[in-house]
Structure 1
Amino acid sequence: MFAPATVVTLLAFALSTVRAETHTVHFTNNCGFGTPTLIQGPNVLSTGGDFTINGPLISAIAYLQTGGCGFNGENCVLVETTLENGFSSTDLSLIPPHAFQVTTGFGYFNGCNGAGADCQEPNCPAAFESPDQTFKQVGCPAANVNLAITFCD
């Protein structure tokens, strides 16, 4: 029989193992200009380097700051993402005031490999053009999935 302190320790370990969650957003900028930018709410999380979070990444946006983008990616192609164990969702947006400025794409890795989308032209069929186009979201149920975002590929 386990002592009460041992049971508490084992339970705490089991809960921490189940709750462990991590996600990384990786940028590749092949444009030769601009700054990859990752934002969540009012916080800039990355300006080009890998960003890793221990826990879910909820409602983050990314874009290539080329000098004409607003803080929330206005005037630029926007990548919107939530990375969360059980269901991650990412999409490209050209809903005004967002607009095409450089080719932009994303893909999941460490789970759902190959799932993603690319926007290579102003009339990008993979990008949201209105809020009701939820079928353009790319989902991933894998735990601890990561996201690669590429500009000018």
Structure 2
Amino acid sequence: MFASIKAATFAVLAVAAGQALAETHTVSFVNNCGRGTPTLIQGPNVLSTGGAFTSNGPFRSWIAYLQTGSCGFNGEGCTIVEGTLVNPTTAGSGSSVDLSLIPPHAFSVTTGFGYQGACAPAGADCNNANCNTAFHSSGDTFVQVACQANDANLVITFCL
């Protein structure tokens, strides 16, 4: 009987530890524009066209934009949000998100993002083609918004 109690206790601890270590990140959208389709892509894959997307594990190298009919597949011609959502393993190695207007991207609609949870209210908004919160060239690294907390979630808003 002691062996079965010990085995059951170990099983419960193993499940609890596995749940505690599971990494998840959710990206949600708010579209206040009355037009367009929020689009989330990673590489050649469309992951969302408006609904919340949850990654069960690190979520690297994705972009999001409001498809108004004039955006290319990778957001060309539009304002994009780009980022990586990962749990930090060392200081400074967590999530990073930014807005980009580096050509061929261009201002299309007011766009913003904000972390939810431990890193809230960190984020950024861009409401014109000259906003100082978006990349205009690759050297504008000061616009990146970091989150050094586990399981960072993000809300992207169009037409703030």
* Structure 2 counterpart of 1:111, one-letter code: A
Matched length: 152
**CA RMSD across the alignment:** 1.9
Q: CA deviation at 1:13?
A: 3.7
Counterpart for residue 69 of structure 1: 71
Superposed CA deviations along residues 2-39 of structure 1, whole A, max 9, x for unmatched, are 79x94985785465235301111110000000000000
Return closer, same or farther for 1:77/1:17 CA change in 2, 3 Å cut-off: same
Q: For 1:50 and 1:10, how far apart are their aligned partners in 2?
A: 31
Q: For 1:60 and 1:111, how far apart are their aligned partners in 2?
A: 21
> Does the CA contact (< 8 Å) of 1:111 and 1:146 recur in 2?
no
| Gaps in structure 1 of 5+ consecutive residues | none
Counterpart for residue 84 of structure 1: 86
* Structure 2 counterpart of 1:93, one-letter code: S
Q: Percent identity?
A: 64
Counterpart for residue 91 of structure 2: none
Superposed CA deviations along residues 54-112 of structure 1, whole A, max 9, x for unmatched, are 11111110000000100000000010011111211000000000000100000000221
Counterpart for residue 54 of structure 1: 56
* Structure 1 counterpart of 2:74, one-letter code: N
Normalization by structure 1: what TM-score?
A: 0.91
Aligned match for 1:139, one of 137, 146, 159: 146
Q: For 1:131 and 1:42, how far apart are their aligned partners in 2?
A: 23
* Structure 2 counterpart of 1:32, one-letter code: G
* Structure 2 counterpart of 1:104, one-letter code: T
Counterpart for residue 98 of structure 1: 105
Normalization by structure 2: what TM-score?
A: 0.87
